[in-house]
Amino acid sequence: MKFGKEELLKLYVNLVRTRAFDRAAVKWLATGKLLSFYHPAEGGEAPGVGGTTFLRKDDVISPHLRGHGLPHMIGKGADPKYYLAEHCGRSTGAGNGLGGIHAALDEWGMYGGSGTLGSCFPLSAGWGLAAKKNGRGQVVVCFFGDGTSNRGTWHEAANMAAVWKLPIVWVCENNGVAQYMPIKDAYPLEDLANMASAYGMPSAVVDGQDVVAVAEAVMAAVEMARAGEGPSFIECKTARFSAHGIGNPDKVHGKDRTPEEIAKLRERDPVVLFRTSLLEKGVLTPADVERIDQDAVDEVAATEKFIDESPFPDDPSILDKALYAE
């Protein structure tokens, strides 16, 4: 897939919106509006945005935990307000305020997940099998972190997907560290993409801070999957600028990450890199940059208002509907 001006702008707008919503989520957690916890996406937004912006609405996505799916749902085109209202426990949320961070947006091919990392692999294999059987050309894109790739479920699902030629693209968001463990202590080779060859899957390693590189690689794999050629693996080398989760220490192997380390990571901020490149190419003007930033600020403000005006669920009978099928 070749990207013209319209596609590049779409990617940029989605990246900026993701950054704005992710920062809002961090703020809302601090003020108690957002419930439970939050794992910021800042620094690692490009795999989720690049890997979803050009998918079909009926394609299935299994978002990575970072940003709790915001980069992925924004890329796919879903309005994040229903998901965020859910995360804030409001009855207008995607799960009537009962699902919290595990909100599903079924209209957008997001069928929910689990707090158990690695459950995304067999679920994606199942969605892939359903897609293959229904013959509508749907593709499943499963996003996961480097730490998550250590689950045994990955190997079971990868093998099944390869043997049955399921239409799945595995997208690893490799930010180099799981909660506190560097990936180099958990996998013997430089690239996790090496795991794909064990199952005969094509793979690519891309700069995960370059949203265009991610989109090109994922869409090439999506086209192959749609054509019946089976699964592929894309590894995006990315970063996280914050601690693992809000309130967690920013440690790797018991040692604090230093301000210098973080500053080095921030030199490759995916939003800044893409903005600079688009300004240089004349795809964006400084006035466009300002307008797109302001639009994102306005959208976040409108979402916050929607959440603030939404009641908490107060009728216990909704639990019956949530638990039992009629």
Ligand X SMILES: Cc1ncc(C[n+]2csc(CCOP(=O)(O)OP(=O)(O)O)c2C)c(N)n1
First-to-last C-alpha distance (Å) of the chain: 44
Sign of the C-alpha dihedral, residues 183, 184, 185, 186?
positive
Strand 232-237 relative to strand 203-207: parallel, antiparallel, unpaired?
parallel
In the complex, the smallest distance separating the C-beta of residue 143 from ligand X, rounded to whole angstroms, is 10
Minimum CB distance to ligand X smaller for 239 or for 273: 239
Minimum CB distance to ligand X smaller for 105 or for 120: 120
Tokens of 18: 């993701």
Minimum CB distance to ligand X smaller for 179 or for 310: 179
CA atoms within 13 A on the CB side of 75: 34
In the complex, the smallest distance separating the C-beta of residue 153 from ligand X, rounded to whole angstroms, is 9
Minimum CB distance to ligand X smaller for 137 or for 182: 182
In the complex, the smallest distance separating the C-beta of residue 146 from ligand X, rounded to whole angstroms, is 4
Task: State the DSSP code for 269.
Answer: -
The structure tokens 């990207």 sit at 3
Q: Which residue sits closest to ligand X, CB atoms considered?
A: 145
Minimum CB distance to ligand X smaller for 64 or for 90: 64
Distances (CA, A) of 273 to 11, 111, 116, 175, 283: 13, 32, 33, 17, 14
In the complex, the smallest distance separating the C-beta of residue 49 from ligand X, rounded to whole angstroms, is 15
Minimum CB distance to ligand X smaller for 132 or for 151: 151
Minimum CB distance to ligand X smaller for 58 or for 156: 156
Alpha-carbon gap, residue 136 to 294, rounded angstroms? 39
Task: Return residues touching ligand X (CB under 6 A).
Answer: 65-66, 115-118, 145-148, 175, 177-179, 244
Tokens of 268: 């490759």
Alpha-carbon gap, residue 204 to 216, rounded angstroms? 11
Cβ atoms of 220 and 1 closer than 8 Å: yes
Minimum CB distance to ligand X smaller for 40 or for 109: 40
In the complex, the smallest distance separating the C-beta of residue 175 from ligand X, rounded to whole angstroms, is 5
In the complex, the smallest distance separating the C-beta of residue 66 from ligand X, rounded to whole angstroms, is 4
In the complex, the smallest distance separating the C-beta of residue 149 from ligand X, rounded to whole angstroms, is 7
Task: State the DSSP code for 67.
Answer: G
In the complex, the smallest distance separating the C-beta of residue 203 from ligand X, rounded to whole angstroms, is 18
Runs of H (alpha helix) within the chain: 5-31, 46-50, 70-76, 80-87, 120-134, 152-163, 194-197, 211-226, 259-266, 270-281, 286-308, 318-323
Tokens of 184: 């180099």
Tokens of 297: 């600020």
